[in-house]
Structure 1
Amino acid sequence: MDMFHFGIVGALLPALILLSSSRPCRADSNANTGLQCSGADNSTTENEFQTNLKNLLDTLVLKGPVSDGFYKTETGKKANKVYGLVQCRGDMSAGNCANCTKDATAEALSKCPKSKEVSVWFTWCFLRYSNDSFFGIMEQGSVAITNDTDFDDPYAISKGLFFMGGLASTAPNQPRMFQTAVLDVGQSGKRYGVAQCSLDISRGDCGVCLDAQLASFRTTIGNKRWWETYGPSCFMWYHDYQFYFNISMPASEGSRRASSYGRVSIGVTIAMLALLVVV
């Protein structure tokens, strides 16, 4: 059964909705993994705000895929100003990035039509916009996704977190703060990892963000055969098959649950199962 673990550190976050999805066992697919909306604000119906938001989203859809998968911009003035960014996973083609950005934009407008602050997570991209500038501010609120019944063997477990810790240390130094890696665990085969940070934060903050995810979810993900973490500033993936696409990236050796860290009001839906948690 697909489940989610939450853990938020830092500032108070708006409501977060996480959606489960089925995914092929040996191929990566673009699952919708989460949606975060601020409370409804009737001022969003004002023509100027709506015009600015449309221009912002159109620009992100147009520029993100042809800007190495990352683009940030702002539109409008004063109270109706909107800030936004899109970040595609570093192995995405321009076409996949464009499709994901379009899907994320449609999801944001459909599920959060009156929100001024929206974040949408897909497996292949992350979209965020707000009426307040967030560029360059590292945020550690995250969700971890694993499968309760999919446990790894002891030998792989002993190496998996150390392996991903190595990625957390080296990814910030990569040109796009994105890195893939492969771990050979002998008879159990190989494990594949990816770490990535949003390109609006510093390299130092990237390392802090990835380390915080591993520390916060250590007991949740430690014995799992696969897991993923998603946040506003950094992301990690760990699987027993090569889920990422073959691109020129440095490599090194070394069923779905969710968690979060800090203070947050969270709404979770998993195939019509609703759970409200207030930390």
Structure 2
Amino acid sequence: MNSIYKILLLLALCICHAQSADPLGQFCNTDTNITSGSKISANIDHLLSSLVSRTASNGFTATSYGQGQDQVFGLSQCRGDVGSTDCASCIQDAAKQIRQRCPNQADARIWYDYCFLRYNNKSFAGQVDTSFGIFYWNVDNVSDPDNFNKYLGALMDEIKKQAVEPKNEGLGKGETKVSQFVTLYALVQCTRDLSPLDCAQCLAIAVGNFETFCNNRKGCRVLYSSCYVRYELYPFFFPLDSNSNMADTRMAIVYP
């Protein structure tokens, strides 16, 4: 694996509330610093404007801007259950924040709860990218790990199958009763540029991290540039249960 990704960042424990203004994380590839006099920076601004204007209508855009060595490629996608208004707001925030957080890099990505945005001076469409990941997990363990993991595995298998069906555009979600009083909720999503086979590969890698980072935890999120996986013991995808408590204690890790 490229040594550029050999970075480990451990964040403090926090109470996390899902808000589009607060990114879950970002990646600024310092190997792609923009040289003085290059048109790449201006082309990125044009590209972001296009992504913002086009994504809200269908939740996904992959496009490029410029020519030759100054050409830049971009992708933006909202979570499949999110409405157009929230999608538009999230992509606008993402486009603004990614330029503030990665002002001099030609390869940058930013993750939000509702959306994801990336650009690069090299084409990446249709390629599975799990080179950089962000992991969130609940610091609390489940009380009956064997039973919980049985239901979690079955639910993940079900929604991964949903995600690779073309009609679902990379999205799978569902819920299952773990016990009389506990319901497990889960959602997976691939970026729409991936083939069903590549989507399945990305999700398999993401779910495979559960045992390492989220073993027996009450909640977990795995965020890659090509797919997203999450499970919780409360409803987090739309339509939401208005009586649910959305606050939980989490630890986050950003890892190659």
Any residues of structure 2 matched to 1:237-248 within 5 Å, and which? 237-246=230-239
- Aligned match of 1:75 in 58, 65, 75? 65
2:84 match: 94
Specify every segment of 5 or more residues in structure 1 that has no aligned partner in the other structure, as ranges: 1-9, 248-254, 265-279
Alignment partner, residue 206 of structure 2:
213
Deviation at 1:168, TM superposition (A): 2.1
Match of 2:244?
Answer: none
Asked if 1:153 corresponds to 2:143, the answer is: yes
Q: Which position in structure 1 is the counterpart of 2:223? A: 230
- Percent identical pairs in the alignment equals 28
Q: Does 1:256 align with 2:250?
A: yes
The alignment status of 1:186 with 2:179, answered yes or no, reads yes
- TM-score w.r.t. length of structure 2: 0.84
Deviation of 1:161 after TM superposition, in Å, equals 2.9
Say which SS state the counterpart of residue 187 (structure 1) adopts. Answer: coil
Q: What is the CA-CA distance between 1:219 and the residue it aligns to?
A: 3.6
Q: Does 1:131 find its partner at 2:131? A: no
The structure 1 residue matched to 2:160, chosen from 134, 150, 168, is 168
CA change 1:129–1:151 in 2 (3 A) is: same
- CA deviation vs aligned residue, 1:60-88 (integer Å, no higher than 9, x gap): 0000111x210010000111101001011
Looking at structure 2, the residues matched to 46 and 103 of structure 1 have their Cα atoms a distance apart, in angstroms, of 27
Task: Return the match for 1:117 from 107, 118, 129.
Answer: 107
Secondary structure in 1 aligned to 2:228? Answer: strand
Give the Cα separation in 2 of the matches to 1:124 and 1:18.
Answer: 23
Cα displacement string for residues 148-201 of structure 1 (whole angstroms, at most 9, x for unaligned residues): 2x2112132332233223322331115211021011112242111111000011
Indicate how the Cα distance of structure 1 residues 70 and 61 shifts in structure 2: closer, same or farther if over 3 A, else same. Answer: same
Matched positions, count: 240
Counterparts of 1:100 and 1:17 in 2: how far apart (Å)? 25
Shift of 1:222: 3.0
In the alignment, structure 2 segments of 5+ residues that lack a partner are 241-248
Q: Would you say the 8 A contact 1:85–1:127 is kept in 2?
A: yes
Asked if structure 1 preserves the Cα contact closer than 8 Å seen for 2:185 and 2:233, the reply is: yes
User: Structure 2: how far apart are the matches of 1:221 and 1:188?
Assistant: 22
Distance 1:210 1:100, change over 3 A: same
Partner of residue 53 from structure 1, selected from 41, 44, 52: 44
Deviation at 1:13, TM superposition (A): 5.5
Aligned 8 A contact 2:19 2:113 in 1: yes
Once the two structures are TM-superposed, the CA of residue 42 in structure 1 deviates from its matched residue by: 4.0
Aligned equivalent of 1:269: none
Contact 2:207 2:229 in 1 (8 A): no
User: Contact (CA 8 Å) 1:17, 1:34: kept in 2 or not?
Assistant: no
TM-score, structure 1 normalization: 0.78
Please state whether the residue corresponding to 1:160 is helix, strand or coil.
helix
- What is the RMSD computed on CA atoms of the aligned residues? 2.4
| Segment of structure 1 superposing worse, 170-179 or 98-107 | 170-179
- Distance between the aligned counterparts of 1:172 and 1:203, measured in 2? 5
Q: Is the 8 A contact 2:55 2:88 kept in 1?
A: yes
Report matched runs for 1:29-44 at 5 Å.
29-30=19-20, 31-39=22-30, 41-43=33-35
